[in-house]
Chain A
Amino acid sequence: MSRMKRIYDWFEQRLQIEGPVREAVLHKVPRNTASWWYVFGSAAFTLLILQVVTGILLALVYVPSAAQAWESLNVLNHQIPLGWFLRAVHAWGSNFMVAVVFIHMAQVFLFGAYKFPRELTWTVGVFLLLLTLGMAFSGQVLRFDQDAYWGLGIGVFIMARVPLIGGQLVHLLLGGPIIAGATLSRFFTLHVFIIPGTLLFLAAVHIWMVLKLGVNEWPMPGRVVHRETYIAEYNKLAHDDGIPFVPGAFWKDLVFSGAVLAAVFVCALVLGPSGPGGQPDPSIIQTVPKPDFPFLWIYSVLSFLPPSLETPFILIAPIAMIAGLLAVPFVASEGEKSWHRRPVAVLALTTVAVAWAVFTHLGMYTPWSPHMNAWSGDPIPVRYLREATPLVRQGAVIFESKQCRNCHQIGGHGGERGPALDDIATRMTPDQMRFKVVTGGGNMPAFGKNLSPPEIEALVAFLETLHPANEPPAADAAQRAIETGGGAPPPVGGHSY
């Protein structure tokens, strides 16, 4: 017996781990589950381990104190050799983990893998998803900068809408009356102890069930799940047309996990760490807070809700979504697994994916936010002012100085909250413009108190010139008829102001 073998046997006699490992490694899985579609779960777990390792390494330097967290992040970025790289790997690992967990869930849903007997595997998976998002949110708070501060403020305002106990929940979330030192301490505890501990435990339960119940077979149209017969059918399939999990299926898991890790490293190297942004000083209000990628869609949805629906939606929608996800395996625990025979499931998944993509895209460029510096920074195109009268020029100055530009584009620059005004004269008569400027309406504030009558006249004179050269400005036919004596129809394009 060689020396190595003797050492191995000494440990094995005490650990007795060979049997269970051999069983787990060599258990047979249906042949066509050794597919590139089945690699996302293991990749998510690999990323979890990466996050644990890089998280521990970052905790060697990070200071979870509201007074020093931001500085310690800057020390990591700029003074500790390759500290920036570890921060970048942790941040990109987080982005990849959220993405891979969602892809894994979509794949499992599409393949009907949640059906009997894997309902509990799905349920635990839903909690793993929520915990992953919890890690992403609490991690965003630990990156204690301006975005973290105001992003958490958004969370506070959402929580405050809970009836009756909203105020108490806010105190519990913040550890006090405002976002301060106590808040960061409890988010550190959540991010480093509570959520990862639960995450690792539930991930172990999740994987245990995958091993015990077997990998979901490739869905075939017509192969219907019945509670009474499924397990026998699955065992027969795995026995008759099965291969050992290692190496037949596992090599693809390994290759994909390695590729994902490589992608994380490349992103980290090329794109660097995220932040920290501005320092977490609430008295610096020149900020445009935006949540991290996984939460941008919520940020978008919140801008489109009518005020009266806001609170009911914020309170009911998350509960409904989670309840819906948890209910999936119990509503449809039997029946077809193939997406060829599950049009509702395919449509639901497509709808969610498209909605998510649209809201995330909108969240990236936020057309609803005023551009705070447009009025002082964006020029009015020269062609709009060539040969302009002094009154029109004065109107252009008022257009800029009264911050109209913050919400209205001209020449492709400015805010997008309101409509672009490059051809406003073709859509509104001067009287309509006056009325709109003075009284506001829709999403426009009323400027009646803030503009003097001469200013309004100058502004309208400028807006009247905003029409394409070959298109006449809008005119009020009735008023023109009165002014011209009510006779023949006036010449097209003329106006009488």
Chain B
Amino acid sequence: MNPDERSDNPEKASTGPEAGAAREQASERDGPAAVSRRWLLLKAGIALNGLVGVAMAIPIIRYLLWPVRKDAAYNSWVSLGRTSEFPVGETRLANFRTPWTRPWDGQTDHVPCYVRREGSAQFTVFAINCAHLGCPVRWFPQSQLFMCPCHGGVYYADGSRASGPPERGLFTYPHRITGGNLEIDAGQMPTLSNTAKLTNIATPGEEEGCSCRG
């Protein structure tokens, strides 16, 4: 069936010269160039929807940007356990529960880190994440090296870069000892943007101990 042959279309029902002239007049009156009541009302309708759209956009953007918060909003002091659990002269893997959690986080809020105890009150707490791309580094006590399984980054026992693609040493958490407990200031995945600005990256050979927030 050809659509043109159908006669149930009201616009095509009337034909003839008079109807043609009337249509022309109507289209002149309805064209976008004409200033008419119905065009004004259409513009008012667009304006109203634009206004409502902007009014809706503000809460939506605020809602979307909710996770963007200052470091202090996410970080707090968490305990890694009694200091006596960490023997002097050794580096041990420790886990902590990240302070900012949701009930449906599952195991993802159990975050590991390395605790190195140099003296009775001297600790360094390293983030698990390689400073290159965040893979979990592994500690080898025999050779006193941290090795990364992803791109072969290697760090010395003090966290300084030994070899491979990392631009700097391991990230460290600020720590303190409260009532015999070792505590660290943690809460975020340590990255180059929240623990050490790009300008502070130590070049190989002059690694500095960083006091970065984790």
Contact = CB atoms under 8 A, between A and B. Distances in A.
Interface of A: 9, 12-13, 16, 18-19, 65-68, 70, 149-150, 153-154, 156-158, 160-163, 166-168, 170-172, 174-183, 279-283, 285-289, 299, 302-303, 305-308, 310-311, 368-370, 372, 375, 401-404, 406-407, 417, 440, 442-447, 449-450
Contacts of A65: 104, 106
A403 B143 contact: yes
Contacts of A310: 132, 165, 167
A455 B133 CA distance: 34
B159 interface: no
The 4 closest A-B CB pairs, nearest first, are A67-B106, A166-B193, A160-B191, A445-B162
B3 to A, nearest CB: 6
B108 A280 contact: yes
A19 B3 contact: yes
Contact of B151 (A18, A174, A279, A302): A302
A442 B163 contact: yes
Given A65-B104, A153-B129, A403 B140 contact: yes
Contacts of B143: 402-404, 447, 450
Contacts of A16: 3
A143 to B, nearest CB: 15
A305 B187 CA distance: 30
Contact of B102 (A68, A174, A181, A447): A181
Most A CB contacts (10 A, CB to CB) among B95, B129, B133, B144 go to: B133
A154 B187 contact: no
Contacts of A407: 152
B178 interface: no
5 contacts: A68-B106, A178-B100, A307-B166, A372-B138, A450-B144
A168 B67 CA distance: 8
Contacts of B166: 307
Range of interface residues on B (Cβ < 8 Å): 35 or more
B1 A12 contact: yes
Contacts of B152: 303, 368-370, 407, 417, 443
A66 B192 CA distance: 25
Interface stretch (B16-24, B37-45, B46-54, B109-117): B109-117
A440 B167 contact: no
Given A153-B189, A177-B98, A282 B111 contact: yes
Contacts of B191: 156-157, 160, 166-167, 170
A12 B188 CA distance: 60
Given A302-B151, A369-B150, A370-B152, A282 B133 contact: no
Contact of B110 (A13, A283, A440, A447): A283
B77 interface: no
Contact of B104 (A13, A67, A167): A67
B151 A311 contact: no
Contact of B147 (A13, A68, A280, A370): A370
Contacts of A182: 67, 102
Interface string B108-143: 111110000000000000001100111111101011
A181 B106 contact: yes
Nearest to B145: A445
Contacts of B136: 150, 282, 285, 287
B128 A282 contact: yes
B149 A288 contact: yes
A282 B112 contact: yes
A176 B167 contact: no
A418 to B, nearest CB: 9
A176 B108 contact: no
Given A176-B74, A282-B111, A305-B165, A161 B106 contact: no
Contact of B198 (A12, A161, A170, A370): A161
Interface string B197-214: 010000110000000000
A176 B100 contact: yes
A302 B193 CA distance: 18
B133 A66 contact: no
A402 B194 contact: no
A20 B194 CA distance: 56
Given A283-B111, A307-B167, A172 B67 contact: yes
Contacts of B154: 370, 445
B149 A369 contact: yes
Contacts of A406: 140, 147
Contacts of B128: 282, 285
Contacts of B148: 370
B112 A285 contact: yes
Nearest to A169: B193
B107 interface: yes
Contacts of A404: 143
A407 to B, nearest CB: 8
B107 A283 contact: yes
